[in-house]
Structure 1
Amino acid sequence: MSVIHTVYGHPNIDSSAIVFPTAVVSGDVTLARGCNIWHHVTIRGDMAPITIGEDTNVQDNAVIHVNADRPTLIGKRVTIGHGAIIHGATVGDDVLIGMGSILLDGAVVESGAMVGAGTLVPPGKTVPTQMLAIGNPMRIVRTLTEAERLDNRKNIDRYLAMAAASVGGETT
């Protein structure tokens, strides 16, 4: 059974969302339809709200948190890679956040962008739509290819199917 804490607010979890048994969801957190929250993820909305959009997958060991008066907003069909940290940031729709990446307070990743593995997005910085950011600190290196955008969509669908299969549900 997942740990769902009602301290600092009651999580609002759509009935179709899948939260794996070792995940922790605490405080003012909203998980939309089809979200899948994998093993050892911590989502803590204790000082401001966290909203995670439809069909978003948050992979093992990721941490999503807020700062006072700085919510975290994550769009639809987002992949948040293993061990990523998102803190008081905004992520648009159809985004991939690579493994081990860190998004700090006020960072914005616009729709369709990609943050490469291990990238640090500093406070207040923006990754523009359809762009690839890499490095520490991040730098914008190029526009994503159509193949990369398609791979991201396929990855999201793969995680939806794996999550459903993991709990004995139908795959779509």
Structure 2
Amino acid sequence: MIKPFFNRIPTIKGMIYVADEAQIIGSVHLDEGASVWYGAVIRADLNSIYIGKCTNIQEHAVLHPTTEKEVVVGDYVTIGHGAIIHACRVGTGSLIGMNATILDGAEIGDYSIVAAQTVVLTGSIIPPRSLVAGVPGKIIRTLSEEEVENLKIHNSNYHELAKKSLPQVIGGEK
């Protein structure tokens, strides 16, 4: 379901893919090729949420801003099942693992991996190409070239799956 929240209205650039049970509410800005999967909630009632090109928001993920901080998710990002993205920034090509939580004001650098169930604390700055894991999240190491390429392949595969699988195509033909 795509719906406004008072005067905050979702905007869509190009064609996106949305599952029937997904909720896109308020000042959400979705770029070409983005996909929002079953049960995901993107609620931009207090501030804006920006979702980049070919980014996939998987089942039961929650994205929410605060009145002070918006959510910005770069291009070609994977937000894993059950992840919470709260008033933060996620860089291009990154993967946020299942049930991970990124808290207010945190910034995840481009082509980084935040492991499943990791909690990235408020205000944390994660450099590009980092592997982050744990509670609280700690930088484990820098990703290899091969791992960065695998992130690109993973995102491309999810984009193709969205084109074949998701029932609602908005902004164009499936």
Q: Shorter-chain TM-score category?
A: over 0.9
Q: What value does the CA root-mean-square deviation take over the aligned residues?
A: 1.3
**How far is the alpha carbon of 1:146 from its aligned partner?**
1.9
The 1:167–1:99 alpha-carbon spacing in structure 2 relative to 1, beyond 3 Å, is: closer
How far, CA to CA, are the matches of 1:85 and 1:167 in structure 2?
A: 22
Contiguous gaps of at least 5 residues in structure 1: none
Check the 8 A contact 2:95/2:113 in 1, yes or no: yes
1:111 to 2:110 alignment: yes
Structure 1 residue ranges, 4+ long, deviating more than 2 angstroms after superposition: none
Is 1:61 the counterpart of 2:60 in the alignment? yes
Of structures 1 and 2, the one with the larger relative CO (CA 8 A, separation 6+) is: 2
For structure 2, the 5+ residue unaligned runs are: 170-174
Distance 2:126 2:114 in 1: 8
Residue in structure 2 matched with residue 10 of structure 1 by the alignment: 9
By how many angstroms is 1:147 displaced? Answer: 2.1
Deviations 1:135-167 (A, max 9, x none): 000111101122221211111111111111114
- Which residue pairs with 2:172 in the alignment? none
Deviation at 1:104, TM superposition (A): 0.5
User: Is the CA contact 2:111–2:151 (under 8 Å) kept in the aligned structure 1?
Assistant: no
2:120 maps to 1:121? yes
Distance 2:100 2:166 in 1: 28
**Distance in structure 1 (CA, Å) of the matches to 2:166 and 2:152:** 22
Q: Residue in 1 aligned with 2:19?
A: 20
Kindly, what percent of the aligned residue pairs are identical? Answer: 37
Structure 1 residue 76 displacement after superposition:
0.4
Whole-Å separation in 1 of the counterparts to 2:106 and 2:160: 30
- How many Å separate the matches in 1 of 2:136 and 2:166? 38
Q: 2:119 aligned with 1:156, yes or no?
A: no
Aligned length: 167
Per the normalisation by structure 1, the TM-score is 0.93
Aligned to 1:86: 85
How far is the alpha carbon of 1:105 from its aligned partner?
0.4
Q: Distance in 2 between matches of 1:81 and 1:36?
A: 12
SS of equivalent to 1:94: coil
- Does the Cα contact within 8 Å between 2:9 and 2:28 map onto a contact in 1? yes
